[in-house]
Amino acid sequence: MATFEKSGKANPAAAVRHAHVIGWGMAVPETVMTNDDLSSFVDTSDDWIFARTGIRQRFIANEGESTATLAYRAAQHALEVADILPTDLDLIVVATATPENIFPSTASLVQDWLNAHEAGAFDLSAACSGFVYALNMASDSIRAGSINAALVIGAETMSRILDWQDRSTCILFGDGAGAVILRASETPGGVLSSVLRSDGSGGDLLAIPSVGSIDANESRAGANGSKLYKMSMAGSEVFKFATRVVSESVEQACQIAGVNVSDVNLVIPHQANLRILQAAARKLGIDIEKFMSNVERYGNTSAASIPIALCEAIEQRRIQDQDHIALVGFGGGLTWASMIIRWGISKPSEQHGSLLNRQRRHVQYRIAKWRSRSRRWRRRVNSKVRDLKA
């Protein structure tokens, strides 16, 4: 596949540019929480959860894990598969509803830890649709010629914003991260089309109030404090919305890409509920076998669910060269987003990565720690010197 040089050296006008997925990776916490574990502290059962959602278990971050550490691990795997260096990246976007901080962004932390010092970095907030939104932003930037390589991550620690007494929500979610690397290429294919949509009138159906909200004012006044940073959801309303938009937006994305729905080889949807996927498959007239689902083992990992499912689909050899893949996300906002990708990279078995590059990446990760520490130290010394001079 013909690729472009790192930004700055490229001539965007020279050729039509396409954005291809060249790397992928995922990370989940070690701790597994089963439905039976849940039923020991909330009034529910494995039977109810599995029958209504398809979920059997989820991964829950421990004290030492966070949205950024999961994102960092997923990013490292993606760089291995892509066999590029962190310094080759021009942009890092982390789609998340559970960012490490309001700021600095989770993306900036990952940028620092990777030593990706040539990259811009920001977080993107579009709830469970966030990963597809972020992929769209990055692929459009690649196609426009402003960047050549982007790391796009969906990462969440949903366990930190759940009300563990609320059985209607706490049984659904899990923690994890997935990442892909997009790179510019002259080879036709890659991201073919995207559809991004929002209906803010449904914002109250799925929400996590934060510092800037009316609820924060009320909490300062001593009322309603418990609402802050806690998720609320009108499950059945969201369910109806989801089954409608999955089929509609996949059809729209197919139309823009010039691909028949029947030519889609695999749909990789947001993993919220198996029944939503079954209903959407029926509406689209697609065999449910063509819908990737791993909700059984991970639960709903919000913005991380699509890249995690993508990684597993690749691992299970469910994606072949030139296949048409549909990604579709839906969730808080309300937001929804679909994308058609024509897979056009060498097969995973050929993606070993050169030993030299692997070593160079590990050197960069080690340098990242020292670079970051020395920069902080220099800032402190400089400010002390300024204080002394003043």
Residue number, 302 or 364, with CB nearest to ligand UT7: 302
Task: Tell me the catalytic residues.
Answer: 128, 270, 300
Among 107, 116, 128, 135, binds ligand UT7 (CB under 6 A): 128
Give the HSE-up count for residue 78: Cα atoms under 13 Å, Cβ half-sphere.
Answer: 36
Q: Interface with ligand UT7 by CB under 6 A: which range of 230-238, 246-254, 280-288, 381-389?
A: 230-238
Which of the ranges 98-106, 144-152, 185-193, 237-245 carries the binding residues for ligand UT7, by CB under 6 A?
A: 237-245
Among 138, 179, 238, 339, binds ligand UT7 (CB under 6 A): 238
Q: Under a CB-based contact definition with an 8 Å cutoff, are residues 12 and 147 in contact?
A: no
How many CB atoms are located within 10 Å of the residue 358 CB?
14
Residue 71-110 contact track with ligand UT7, rule CB under 6 A, x = bound: ----------------------------------------
Residue 296 Cβ vs ligand UT7, minimum distance, rounded to whole Å: 14
Question: Strand (E) positions, the chain?
Answer: 18-27, 31-34, 57-60, 91-95, 120-124, 149-157, 175-185, 190-198, 206-207, 232-233, 266-269, 324-331, 335-342
> Least distance (Å) from ligand UT7 to the CB of residue 49?
6
| Tokens representing residue 285 in the block | 């007239």
How big is the site for ligand UT7, counted in residues (CB under 6 A)?
Answer: 21
- Contact pick of 165, 217, 236, 316 for ligand UT7 (by CB under 6 A): 236
| Rg of the chain in Å (alpha carbons) | 21
**Bond into 104 cis (ω within 30):** yes
Query: Does 52 contact ligand UT7 by CB under 6 A?
Result: yes
Residue among 235, 255, 256, 265 that touches ligand UT7 (CB under 6 A): 235
Handedness of CA 256, 259, 260, 265 (dihedral sign): negative
Among residues 6, 117, 167, 318, the one that binds ligand UT7 under rule CB under 6 A: 167
59 beta partners: 32
55-86 core/surface letters (b: 16 or more CB in 10 A; e: else): bbbbbbbeeebbbbbbbbbbbbbbbbbbbbbb
Of all residues in the shown chain, the one whose CB is closest to ligand UT7 is: 235
Dihedral pair phi/psi, residue 54, rounded to 5° = 85, 5
Stretch that binds ligand UT7, among 6-14, 88-96, 186-194, 236-244 (CB under 6 A): 236-244
Residue in the structure block whose two tokens are 């960047």: 147
**Residue whose CB is less far from ligand UT7, 114 or 177:** 177
In the bound state with ligand UT7, the residue whose beta carbon lies nearer, of 304 and 314, is 304
Among 87, 125, 168, 372, binds ligand UT7 (CB under 6 A): 168
Least distance (Å) from ligand UT7 to the CB of residue 234?
8
Phi, psi of 174 (to 5 degrees): -145, 175
Q: Which is nearer to ligand UT7, 52 or 371 (CB)?
A: 52
Asked if residue 169 lies in contact with residue 162, where contact means CB atoms within 8 angstroms, the answer is: yes
Q: Which span sits near ligand UT7 by CB under 6 A: 165-173, 193-201, 250-258, 360-368?
A: 165-173
What's the distance, CA 160 to chain centroid?
17
Residues that bind ligand UT7 (CB under 6 A): 44, 48-49, 52-53, 128, 167-168, 171, 206, 235-236, 238-239, 242, 272-273, 276, 300, 302, 331
